[in-house]
Structure 1
Amino acid sequence: MKLRITICLYRLLLILPAIVGVGCGDASAQSLNDCVLNRPYADMRRWHLGFSVGIHTQDITFSHNGLITAEGEEWYMEQPGFSPGFCVNGLVDMRLNSLMNLRFTPGLYFGNRDITMREYNTGAELRQNVKTTCIVLPVDLKFSGMRYRQSRPYITAGVMPAFNITRSQGDYLRTVPAELFLTAGFGCDFYLPYFKLVPEVKFCFGITDAIEHDRTDLEDEPDKLKITRSLRKALSRMVVFTFYFE
C-alpha cells in the first residue's frame, strides 16, 4: 500500500507542471523544469507593433471659487456617477533593455460624463451630459519583471496628451481642446503560441484645467455663464482597462 501511495505521489509530481503551467505540453513527457515556452524570443526584438481595445470611465473633480451671483445664487458642480466608454489604440514598442520598454500608444477614447449642478440655497438642479471624443497620444515606460513560464508582470508610468474633437457651443460647461495626464498602470504579458495577450489597467490623472473659462459664446446668456464663473478649476481622471494584442 505504501509503495502504491509513493508511486501515485511521484506521478502527481511529474504531471504538476502541466496542471499549473500554461502551454507546457504533454504531462507524460515533461519534467518539473521542462516547460516549452511560447514565443521565447518575443521580448528580444528591438521593435514590435500591436493594438488594443478596451473600456474606460471618466471622472472630473471641481474646485469652486464661492462666487455669489447678483441674485444671491451659489452654484456647485459634481459628477454623481460613471458611464463606461470605449477606447482603441495602436502600439509601437521599443526595447530599451531586458527589463524596460518605451511604448507609444496613439488612439481614440469615446466617453461621456453626467454633470449635476446644484444651487446651494434653493437646491435647484441643472444637468448636462458632457460627451467627449479624444485623440490620445500616450508615452509610457514599461518596467517588466522576470518571465515565469508563459507570463510576465509589469508596471507602467508616463504622460498622455489628449485632444478633444467634440466641443459644442452653448452648453453650461465646455471642456478645453487639450489636456495633459500623468499615467500609472500595471498588467501582465501572457505568451500564447502566435501572439501575446496583455490585459492592462491604467490610471490617468489630469494635471491641467479641463474647463474652458473664456466663454464668449455665452455673453448673451448670463444664466449659463454663471455656472462656468463659479468654477476655479476642474481636473479630469480616468480608469482604463484594455487588452493588448502584440
Structure 2
Amino acid sequence: MNHRFLTSLRLLSALMALIIGSHGDLSGQNLNDKLMNRPYADLRRWHLGFSVGIHTQDFTFTHNGFTSENGEQWFVEQPAFQPGFCVNGLIDYRLGTYFNLRFTPGMYFGNRDITMREYNSGAEHRQNLKSALIVLPFDLKFSGLRYRNSRPYITAGVMPTFNVTKQNNDYLRTKTSDFFLTCGFGCDFYLPYFKFNPEIKFCFGLGDNLLHDRPDIAEEPEKLIITQSLKKAVSRMVVLTFYFE
C-alpha cells in the first residue's frame, strides 16, 4: 500500500474510534439505570435498512516501460484523494447468533484526479476521471457479544461494480465493470427506535480496470501513448458508511 492509501486508512479509522468512543462516554452515564434498547432486534430472521456515507477511490498503476518513436516515456499517478458520496439499501438475513448475510445495493459517486508526466521533457497532462458506480456488495457479518446497547462486528465479502458514467475520448478510460474483495469493521448501536451502525470498509480490486483497446483515439497518438505506457490499473476504495436499520 502506498503512503496516501495508508494515510486515508488512518484518518477513517481515527474517525471511527472517535464515534465509538463518544458513544461509550455517553452510554457510561447511569449504566445501571439504563434499559437495553430493542432487546429482540437481532432475533428477526431478516430486516431492511439504508445507509449514506463517503468514500475515496484510488488507482494502483503498473507501467510497462513503453517508449515512443520520439523517445517519450510517460508515467501516470494519482497524487491525491477526492471524497465521494455513496448511498445504499440494505437487506439483512440472519444466519445464526453471530452471523448475518447482507446485501447492500447502491450507488457510489466519485472522481480521481490523474496526473501524466513525460520523463525527459517534464511535459504534463491532467485528467479528472469521474465515475458513477452501481455497486452490488454481498457481505458476511460476524458480530461479537452484545454489551448493553452496542455490539462490534467485522465483515468480509465481494462487490461487483458497474460504471454508468459516459466517458469521452480522453487520455484514459476505464472498463464498465470491476470486481472487489472487501473487508471491514463497525459497531451496532441500539437506539430506542432503530440501530445506528458506523462502518469502515476496505475494497480491493482484483483485475485490471484500464481499457486498453482504444480505437476512439487511434488517430491521436499523443493520447494513445498514455494507455500504451500502462500495463494495468487496479482500483481500490476506502468507504465510511452510516447504516440505519
Task: Give a deviation string over 1:71-110, Cα, whole Å, max 9, x none.
Answer: 1000010000011000000000000000000000000000
2-structure distance, mates of 1:215, 1:177: 14
Matching residue's letter, 1:46: R
Paired position in structure 2 for 1:49:
48
Aligned 8 A contact 1:21 1:149 in 2: no
Aligned 8 A contact 1:23 1:37 in 2: no
Paired position in structure 2 for 1:177:
176
Task: Give a deviation string over 1:4-28, Cα, whole Å, max 9, x none.
Answer: xxxxxxxxxxxxxxx967398xx5x
Paired position in structure 1 for 2:160:
161
Paired position in structure 2 for 1:121:
120
Q: How many residues align?
A: 222
1:101-116 mapped onto 2 (5 Å cutoff) = 101-116=100-115
Q: Which runs of 5+ in 1 are unaligned?
A: 1-18
Structural RMSD (CA): 1.6
The 1:35–1:182 alpha-carbon spacing in structure 2 relative to 1, beyond 3 Å, is: same
Aligned 8 A contact 1:21 1:150 in 2: no
1-structure distance, mates of 2:236, 2:225: 24
Matching residue's letter, 1:168: Q
Of 15, 23, 27 in structure 2, the residue corresponding to residue 22 of structure 1 is 27
2-structure distance, mates of 1:75, 1:87: 33
Q: Which runs of 5+ in 2 are unaligned?
A: 1-23
Larger radius of gyration: 1
Paired position in structure 1 for 2:208:
209
Paired position in structure 2 for 1:93:
92
Matching residue's letter, 2:48: L
1-structure distance, mates of 2:134, 2:197: 22
Task: Give a deviation string over 1:26-80, Cα, whole Å, max 9, x none.
Answer: x5xx8x4x64110000000000000000000111010010000001000010000
Matching residue's letter, 2:219: D
Paired position in structure 1 for 2:9:
none
TM-score (norm 2): 0.88
Moved over 3 A (4+): none
TM-score (norm 1): 0.87
Paired position in structure 1 for 2:65:
66
Paired position in structure 2 for 1:151:
150
2-structure distance, mates of 1:167, 1:99: 42
Paired position in structure 1 for 2:191:
192
